[in-house]
């Protein structure tokens, strides 16, 4: 599947998150490459020890909504009434359930700091039988100085390693995120 346009990915720190509660760390939206449809997104933070160094690292695991944020009310109802089989999908040794999103610290970032590789990389399984989508994200702050994950989605490039695929232009992703910004995601609702 060849796509020429990257998709959008953005996660805003959840203002309702409190230490120790079960609320997601980030809420935002994600899209498949080459489409205009954006899906609501919730990400939870998890710490784990790096298997090589023992250093504690943070990863994110979450879920994207079943229907696009732009779906009409009747479309939302219909999509929830019709239960299509949710499909697992794999990207290398990473297997994701339907609508699952995962982000890991990027171990390739330190290898080439001049390339401005993403802080996090991972995958998104749309759950509809289409291939897993790669996610690249940079951690930064929004204009109110709150943490934000901003980046993009793309399809894997056959024959390329993860490090080789991390070459798309970050400025292009920032412009895409700015153009598609919906403001604060406080009103985004997730189906579970």
Q: How many angstroms separate the CA atoms of 160 and 168, rounded?
A: 13
Domain carrying residue 178: 7-183
Residue 80 is inside which H or E element, if any? helix 73-81
**Residue 189 falls within a domain, yes or no?**
no
In a domain, 165, yes or no: yes
Q: Whole-angstrom Cα distance, residue 103 to residue 10?
A: 12
- With respect to residue 53, please indicate whether it lies within any of the assigned structural domains: yes
For the chain, 192 residues long, the average pLDDT of each consecutive 10-residue run is 72 95 96 90 95 92 90 85 73 87 88 80 89 92 95 80 56 48 39 33
DSSP-derived 3-state class of residue 59 = strand
């Amino acid at each position: 599947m060849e796509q020429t346009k990257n998709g959008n990915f953005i996660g805003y720190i959840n203002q309702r998150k409190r230490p120790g509660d079960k609320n997601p760390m980030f809420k935002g939206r994600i899209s498949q490459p080459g489409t205009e449809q954006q899906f609501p997104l919730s990400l939870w933070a998890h710490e784990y020890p790096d298997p090589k160094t023992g250093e504690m690292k943070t990863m994110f695991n979450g879920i994207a909504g079943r229907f696009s944020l732009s779906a009409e009310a009747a479309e939302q109802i219909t999509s929830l009434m019709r239960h299509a089989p949710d499909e697992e999908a794999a990207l290398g040794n990473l297997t994701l359930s339907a609508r699952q999103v995962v982000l890991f610290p990027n171990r390739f970032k330190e290898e080439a700091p001049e390339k401005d590789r993403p802080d996090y990389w991972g995958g998104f399984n749309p759950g509809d039988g289409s291939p897993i989508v790669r996610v690249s994200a940079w951690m930064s702050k929004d204009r109110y100085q709150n943490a934000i994950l901003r980046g993009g989605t793309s399809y894997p490039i056959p024959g390329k390693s993860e490090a080789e695929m991390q070459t798309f232009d970050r400025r292009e992703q920032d412009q895409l995120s700015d153009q598609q910004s919906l403001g604060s995601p406080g009103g985004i609702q997730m189906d579970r």
